[in-house]
Structure 1
């Protein structure tokens, strides 16, 4: 939980959470180099607010993003926050650095998406 909203953590690091201020928006941690690219690539899906401008995160509107892209964003956020050893084991298990968007890390009910 983050400010009374559902969220996902790895080793106490929040990597995905429902925005307490932007109703229906999901906050997802992103690489600093990726943030601007995402915001420019699909402004209907990815956005920020003055509150989140300094965060290494973007806000996501569910209705403008595919399930596969959402799974990729969640996986990337987890990879940013998880311990290196765990990330290494995961990447070895899935065969490298390819995304596993067709195998989401988090079931939709956990995020309240169904």
Structure 2
């Protein structure tokens, strides 16, 4: 993995590790983030893309296909790929929080909302 992946990983950790129930462990030999044992984001093996759980990938891919896309492998799954070099940090943060909330329990979501206020 190149130097850039460590910068991306630092950003991901800053956003995610303070969120309720988030843990980091390896998945396919790359750093991955889980809530309640459920995967919601991981660095792809190439170190240049993020695999992220989303229920709105068509919306994101239509808006910016150079940044958000899938390969045939992800066609039947609720995941999309994000080109980390091209993604806007504010959009990435929004996507990460949404991916977390799609997997988190109601209790964890309430805890997050209480801490956000």
RMSD: 1.3
User: TM-score, with normalisation over the residues of structure 1?
Assistant: 0.74
What is the Cα deviation at residue 90 of structure 1? Answer: 1.3
Relative distance call for 1:53 and 1:23 in structure 2 (3 A) is farther
User: TM-score, with normalisation over the residues of structure 2?
Assistant: 0.72
Greater strand share, 1 or 2? 2
Equivalent of residue 43 in structure 2, options 18, 21, 25: 18
Question: What runs of 5+ residues in structure 2 fail to find an aligned partner?
Answer: 1-25
CA distance in 1, matches of 2:107, 2:32: 23
Q: How many residues align?
A: 92
Question: What runs of 5+ residues in structure 1 fail to find an aligned partner?
Answer: 96-114
The equivalent of 1:100 in structure 2 is none
Is 1:40 the counterpart of 2:62? The answer is yes
CA distance in 2, matches of 1:71, 1:17: 14
